[in-house]
A and B are shown apart, each in its own frame.
Chain A
Amino acid sequence: MPATLAELPVGSSAIVQAMPTGRSCLTRLREMGIVPGTRVSVTRRAPLGEPIEICVRGSHLSMRNHEAAFIAISAA
């Protein structure tokens, strides 16, 4: 099982386990719906590896690996 959202393969889903607190860019991701306990899935990856497109709460977002690597996940 991959440890962070950045490593989650395309097409699979997982549950957000933990995110470091007090970082403003991660606070915005939380506000976009990615909070611990939420189910996320990776829809696709841009050809050169970044950004990734994810689906959370029915909304599609994309972000870079740098941010996704902060999001620890566990098996859905």
Chain B
Amino acid sequence: MSAAAPETPLIAIVGNPNSGKTTLFNLLTGLKQKVANYPGVTVEKKIGECYSQHGKKLRLIDLPGAYSLNARSPDEAVLRDVLLGRRPETPRPDRVVCVLDSANFERNLYMAGQVLELGLPTILVLNMVDVAEQREWRIDAIKLSEILGIPVVKTNAISGQGLIELKLALSREDISPPKWQNAALPEGVKAALEHSRDEMRQAGVIHTRSSLLEPLYLLSDHDPTHYGIADTQIARIHELRSRMETDFPGWEDALVAERYRRIEELCAQVLKRPDQEIETITTKLDRILLHPVLGFVNLLLVLGLLFFLIFKVAEGPMGWIEAGFGQFGAWVEGLMSPGDFRDLIVNGVVPGVSGVVIFLPQILILFFFIGIMEDTGYMSRLAFIMDWAMSKVGLNGKSFLPFLSSYACAIPGVMAARTIDSPKDRLITILIAPLASCSARLPVYSLLIGVLFPVGEVGAFVQAGIMLGLYSLGTLGAFFFAWVFNKFVMKGSASPMILEMPSYKMPALKSILLQVWQRARMFLVRAGTIILGISILIWAASTYPKTAGDDSAKQMEHSFAGRAGKLIEPAIAPLGYDWKIGIGLIGSFAAREVFNSTMSVVYAVESGDDDNLAPLRDKLAAERRPDGRLVYTPLVCISLLVFYVFAMQCVSTIAIVKRETGSWKWAMFQLGYMTGTAYLLSLLIFQIGSALGY
């Protein structure tokens, strides 16, 4: 996109969350878009291309949805900074398309007003006109256009209504700055802001030509991360800000009230709405979907459907992927003569990459499901119903779905935490998400439960009961740590939960599929690069240095991995594990289910695949220590199971957490606290159990 000619105009699309802004952007640009992150922060930067009605090339940038330019989160800080031209890697937009939800016209005008104050040529889009009509809200677009002196277009992003008019408006190069007077600042505040501007200019915080709005928004920055403001300047801004607060208490609030006064004046001229609220589909649906009993039942049904799709429907495609990789491996095996390179591909690369790519169907389903829930408006209702429970551990309702998703795989769960706007809640959700027992733990659980209670001796009921217990243990752990982090690690103001309840609408399928595709591509790129590399390294660790013979178990013992297993044996012996289990634990750091295949190699069991655990299980159950005692006593199995519930053993998740939190600090913290907890609990279980004579 950077190759585009400099004269290609850059048009920013801005709007409130739920205004249908991104759907409109996707409709205009289609697949011609690039998704990246703003450097140093996990806010998506989407730039796309489209052609105007006259065939002229335009560049569109979809800025994060926000309620105000007074930033409260990194997302809103990005919006503010791009619109003010404060970001060197993103040029200031030449024009702005401001998307409004017509059914929430008055409230959406708040940020629209702030955008108009910036004085950039702006097009107002009244989106979701159909929902407004249901509510019998009539907006006089012509009059609005006359008053503001800018184009106003009515659209329905789902049906495509008004798209041609919007493209025509995008073609116009003669759009004049809006006739929207800047909000009158409270007495004395203007002088104080001018003074602050001079000081900020001298300190190099802002550009010499910046308007009064730049110091205004910097002083009213409520984003706790102060994203986009250099550390050296934060103190200066804080100082100016507290001076403003002392001299003019409540100046920000007075400004908000003044803006709404002017919005009310404008609405009186262009908006007609009934005195009493009309019964709409939304009010009718909410009576059921938010009903104390029916709402909860419905929620369980929705989540049941989600789990059915993730665990049952995804099974088919997951099997195909596994079979495909298996066939590829077999094909290579037949093609080449035996040797290290063949072994690297067949036993290193193929199983390593396939073990991660196999989760692609689950990820696709999950993001499609989340997309539908967000787009229809049900996500807010889910957060509303779950908020009370989540608030007990210091989180809010929006953390529920990312956490739930982590039962399939922590990677999409961590990625889905982007929907949480409070940075603190988002971080805590990311930190606890991998405690949800993901599907990669399932094969390990199955194997060890099988060793613990061979089928036949006790019913499948006991096995299922233990499985349920392991899932509950992880869940309780997650809630416990959320509470701890909230209380002791991340002190600071409790983030308020302010949730918009948008009108229900039909989902824009095309736009959702586009987003699913973008996530899937991100995941596949990751599997093709980092995971590929790690698989190669793990193969190397278990292959070198080489032994003379053909005995794979001997080779494993002699290899780096085997030596590492012996090296950590003193550390894991108090947990009841020997060095062979140590190799399994080390291997599990690539992906947990690798435990099973590693143990197959360690014990030289043929065909230790997931479908047929029996040979490996029997081998484990019969394995004895040099002194003749059983290795896998019930106590060791339980200690190992608990270790797998809590330990952070997934390189892919660590990599994703590093990316989503923007630093290694939190990824390492997570690795430490989870693995530390796993170690301590397993230690306690084994030591106390041994002391009691088990």
Contacts and interface: CB of A to CB of B under 8 A. Distances in A.
Interface of A: 19, 21-22, 24-33, 35-36, 38, 43-44, 46-51, 53, 55-64, 66-67
Contact of A49 (B70, B256, B384, B388): B388
Contacts of A57: 104, 106-107
Nearest to B501: A60
A30 B257 contact: yes
B673 interface: no
A43 B494 CA distance: 25
The listed residue with most B CB atoms (<10 A of its CB), out of A50, A55, A58, is: A58
Given A21-B249, A21-B253, A28 B385 contact: no
Given A25-B493, A62-B499, A67-B496, 11 more contacts: A25-B498, A26-B253, A29-B496, A30-B260, A32-B498, A36-B257, A44-B290, A59-B106, A62-B501, A64-B497, A67-B497
Q: Which 9 A-B pairs have the closest CB atoms?
A: A21-B250, A25-B496, A60-B501, A47-B292, A57-B106, A30-B256, A48-B388, A59-B107, A24-B222
A33 B113 CA distance: 13
A29 B256 CA distance: 10
Contacts of B107: 32-33, 56-59
B104 A46 contact: no
B252 interface: yes
Interface in B98-144: 103-107, 110, 135, 137
A44 B286 CA distance: 10
Contacts of B385: 46
A43 to B, nearest CB: 8
Nearest to B220: A27
A68 B559 CA distance: 63
A22 B256 contact: no
8 contacts: A21-B253, A28-B496, A31-B68, A47-B292, A51-B397, A61-B500, A62-B497, A62-B498
Nearest to B260: A35
A53 B273 contact: no
A51 B387 contact: yes
B501 A32 contact: no
B240 to A, nearest CB: 15
Contact of A31 (B70, B249, B273): B70
B277 A50 contact: no
Nearest to B293: A47
A58 B106 contact: yes
B384 A22 contact: no
Nearest to A47: B292
Contact of B498 (A22, A43, A58, A67): A67
A66 B106 contact: no
Contacts of A44: 286, 290
B67 A32 contact: yes
The listed residue with most A CB atoms (<10 A of its CB), out of B72, B105, B107, B249, is: B107
A58 B391 contact: no
A60 B67 CA distance: 14
A51 B257 contact: no
A22 B104 contact: no
Contacts of B290: 44, 46, 53
B70 A51 contact: no
B261 to A, nearest CB: 8
B245 interface: yes
Interface residues of B, number: 45
Interface string B495-531: 1111111100000000000000000000000000000
Interface in B281-318: 286, 290, 292, 296
Contacts of B296: 47
A28 B68 contact: yes
Interface in B243-266: 245, 249-250, 252-253, 256-257, 260
Contacts of A22: 245, 249-250, 252-253
B391 A61 contact: no
Nearest to A33: B107
B391 A33 contact: no
A31 B217 CA distance: 14
Contacts of B250: 21-22
Contacts of A28: 67-68, 72, 222, 496, 498
Nearest to A25: B496
A50 B380 CA distance: 14
B104 A29 contact: no
A38 to B, nearest CB: 8
A72 to B, nearest CB: 14
The listed residue with most B CB atoms (<10 A of its CB), out of A25, A48, A57, A63, is: A57
Contact of A58 (B68, B273, B494, B499): B273
The listed residue with most B CB atoms (<10 A of its CB), out of A19, A36, A47, A60, is: A60
Given A30-B256, A50-B387, A60 B500 contact: yes
Nearest to B496: A25
A63 B260 contact: no
A38 B264 CA distance: 10
A61 B380 CA distance: 10
The listed residue with most A CB atoms (<10 A of its CB), out of B110, B273, B498, is: B498
A64 B387 contact: yes
A51 B385 CA distance: 8
A33 B68 CA distance: 11
A58 B497 CA distance: 20
B500 A63 contact: no
Contacts of B110: 31-33
B388 A61 contact: no
Contacts of B273: 58
B384 A63 contact: no
A70 to B, nearest CB: 10
A61 B67 contact: no
B129 to A, nearest CB: 15
A23 to B, nearest CB: 9
A22 to B, nearest CB: 6
A48 B385 CA distance: 9
B379 to A, nearest CB: 13
A62 B70 CA distance: 21
A62 B499 CA distance: 5
B656 to A, nearest CB: 30
B40 to A, nearest CB: 23
Nearest to A61: B500
A53 B70 CA distance: 24
Contact of A61 (B135, B220, B249, B499): B499
The listed residue with most A CB atoms (<10 A of its CB), out of B70, B105, B256, is: B256
Contacts of A50: 387-388, 391
A60 B70 CA distance: 21
A27 B496 contact: no
Contacts of B256: 27, 30-31, 35
A70 B606 CA distance: 68
A62 B273 CA distance: 22
